Structure 1
Amino acid sequence: MDIETLLKNTSRSLYLSVQALPGSMRPAFGIAYLLCRYADTIADTSILPAQRRLYWIERFPHLLQEQNLQEAAQLAGEICGGSENPYEKELIKNLPPCLHVLNQVPAKQLPIIMDVVQAVCDGMKIDLSTFPEEHSAQLRAFQTPADLQHYCRLMGGKPGLFWSRLICATSKIKMPETEFYELGQHIGDALQIVNILRDLPKDLRIGRCYFPQQNLTEAGLTAADLLDTANSTRFEPIKRKWILWGVNNLKSAVRYFAQLSKTQPGGRAAVAWPVLWTADTLLKVWQTPDLLNPQKRVKIPRSVIYSTILLTPPILVSNGLFNKWLTAKLRKFN
């Protein structure tokens, strides 16, 4: 299977953003996503014990650098059959073609890719070393808000940094790069807390509570209490606290977007869409009274995704319109 098809099949709505990117950014972004997704498949496979998965997650960035095809084949052999997703199965079998594409990326973009893969692997090491085995019937929570913020920075903020460094490598911005990078990390933090919020019931049932014990104790809850949908009301203040943390981070997108060149409308669209969809998803989580219910999967409908795309053209030439659009969405949190 070719890399373009792998990307389309594994990235869902993100593929729409990738297609909008300028040609100078698309290969690097696409292969970085696939390699991070490959690492995610290693971390989540059900056929290896956590310690073996931890070994491979630690090895994965080195494997990419060393281009050891024998080791790549060993890895694929160990995790083959560990996913029910047919597209992940194809990805598992296609690491060598991914390595080939990685080798074609311009030299100045290669360190950017390796840095984000390393950061995401570091986040997955936290998963595998902090939480119990998925089928152990045990449940553990992060201890402090700082733990959750650090995790969001690795899994979301560092990809936001990757995106920002890629932009700076292919176009000019007016503000200092370090400031631009920090804004990008804040946006990535917001994208990650959305994933954690909407995946909460599923994560709890594999032993993972990302919401800190400190917050739970203040609400008179334990991680195990969150397995009971009847505790949704008691969990509501914690849910809203972290949604507002995400909203506050997402506000960075206004200044970030204003730095993007209007001569690259595709690049502006590729930033605007995930930000606007994240705002929509945060609101949907905010308005969901029983987030702990495992029968519910919070996500925005396809109609919202495509309507956002259809309404995009004016903001490609106006920072002010993007500001108004995003701000109007974020005002709904009260």
Structure 2
Amino acid sequence: MDIETLLKNTSRSLYLSVQALPGNMRPAFGIAYLLCRYADTIADTSILPAQRRLYWIERFPLLLKEQNRQEISLLASEICGGSENPYEKELIKNLLPCLQVLNQVSAKQLPIIMDVVQAVCDGMKIDLNAFPEEHSAQIQAFQTPDDLQHYCRLMGGKPGLFWSRLICTTTKIDMPEKEFYELGQHIGDALQIVNILRDLPKDLRIGRCYFPAQDLAQHGLTAADLLIPENATRFEPVKRKWILWGVNNLKSAVRYFAQLPKCQPGGRAAVAWPVLWTADTLLKVWQTPDLLNPQKRVKIPRSNIYSTMLCTPPILISNLLFNKWLGGKLGKFN
């Protein structure tokens, strides 16, 4: 299976953004996503004990550098059958073709890709070390808000940094790169807290509570209490605290977007779309009173995705219009 098909099948909304990118950024962005997704498949497979998954996650960045075919085959054989997603099954079998693409990216882009893979693997090591085995019938929460913010930085902020560094390999920006990178990390933090919020019921049932025990205790809750959907009302203040944290981080997109050249409309669209979709998803979570219900997964409709794309052209030539559009969405949380 070719890399573009793998990318399309593993993340349709991200695939749309990748297609908008300039050609000199597309391969690096696509392969970085697929390699991080491969690592995620290792970390989440239920057919290996946590310690074996931890071994492979720690080994994965070096595996990409060394590209030992025998070791790659061993990894694939150990995790094959560990996913019910047919597209992840295809990804598991296609690490070597992914590495062929990795080997073709520019010398300037390669270390950026390796850095983001390492950061995401570090985040997955937290999952495997901090939380119990999925079928242990135990549940554990992060202890402090700093724990959750650090996790969001590894799993979202560092990909945001990767994205920003990749832009700077092909595009001149006006502000200091360090400042641009920090804005990108804030946007990535917001994207990650959205994932944590909407996956909350599923994560709780495999023993993972990312919301800090300190926050829960302030409202008389424990991680185990979140398994009871009727406790959604008591959880509401914690939910809203972290939604607003995501909203505040997403505001960084205003200054970030203004740095993107109007002569590169594809690059601007590829930034605008996930930011706008994240704002929509945060609002949907905000308006969902029964977030703890395991039968409900918050998701914006496909029509929302396509309508955003359809209405995009004006903001590609106007920072002011993007600011008003995003500001209108974020203003609904006041």
TM-score normalised per structure 1: 1.00
Name the residue aligned to 2:301: 301
- The equivalent of 1:162 in structure 2 is 162
Task: Check if 1:133 corresponds to 2:133.
Answer: yes
Aligned to 2:175: 175
Q: Where does residue 325 of structure 1 map in the other structure?
A: 325
2:10 is aligned with what amino acid? Answer: T
Partner of residue 284, structure 2: 284
Is the partner of 1:104 in helix, strand or coil? Answer: coil
Displacement of 1:12? 1.8
Determine helix, strand or coil for the equivalent of 2:332. Answer: coil
What is the CA-CA distance between 1:11 and the residue it aligns to? 1.3
CA RMSD across the alignment: 0.4
Aligned to 2:81: 81
SS at match of 1:195: helix
Tell me how far 1:67 sits from its aligned partner: 1.2
Tell me the residue number matched to 2:123. 123
1:69: Cα distance to partner? 1.2
SS of the aligned residue for 1:134 comes to coil
Q: Using structure 2 for the length normalisation, give the TM-score.
A: 1.00
2:312 corresponding residue in structure 1: 312
1:169-208 aligned within 5 A: 169-208=169-208
C-alpha separation in 2, matches of 1:332 and 1:26: 34
| Alpha-carbon offset, residue 142 of structure 1 | 0.1
CA distance in 1, matches of 2:142, 2:299: 25
| Distance in 2 (alpha carbons) for counterparts of 1:308 and 1:3 | 26
The residue type equivalent to 1:21 in the other structure is L
User: What SS does structure 1 have at the residue aligned with 2:146?
Assistant: helix
SS in 1 for 2:133: coil
Residue type matched to 1:48 in 2?
A: L
Q: Could you tell me how far 1:257 is from its partner in structure 2?
A: 0.0
Q: Please state whether the residue corresponding to 1:47 is helix, strand or coil.
A: coil
User: 2: CA distance between counterparts of 1:28 and 1:195?
Assistant: 23
SS in 2 for 1:119: helix
Give the residue type in structure 2 aligned to 1:51.
Q
CA distance in 2, matches of 1:11, 1:205: 24
Q: Could you tell me which amino acid in structure 2 is paired with residue 101 of structure 1?
A: V
User: Where in structure 1 are there 5+ consecutive unaligned residues?
Assistant: none
Paired with 2:94 and 2:204, the residues of 1 have a C-alpha distance of: 31
Cα distance between partner residues in 2 of 1:70 and 1:271: 39
Which stretch shows the higher mean deviation, 181-190 or 7-16?
7-16
Is 1:92 the equivalent of 2:101? no
Map 1:245-284 → 2, pairs under 5 A: 245-284=245-284
Report how far residue 64 of structure 1 moved.
0.3
Look up the match of 1:105: 105
Partner of 1:212: 212
For the residues of structure 2 that align with 1:178 and 1:11, how far apart are their CA atoms? 29
Q: For 1:129-169, what per-residue CA distance to the aligned partner results, in whole angstroms no more than 9, with x for missing partners?
A: 00000000000000000000000000000000000000000
The offset of 1:68, in angstroms, is 1.0
Q: Tell me the residue number matched to 1:147.
A: 147
Identity score, percent:
88
Look up the match of 1:60: 60
d(CA) in 2 for partners of 1:11, 1:228: 31
Amino acid at match of 2:60: F
Q: Distance in 1 between matches of 2:282 and 2:99?
A: 36
**Quick one: which amino acid aligns to residue 155 of structure 2?**
M
Count the aligned residue pairs: 334
Which 4+ residue blocks in structure 1 deviate beyond 6 angstroms? none
Structure 2: stretches of 5+ with no match in the other structure: none
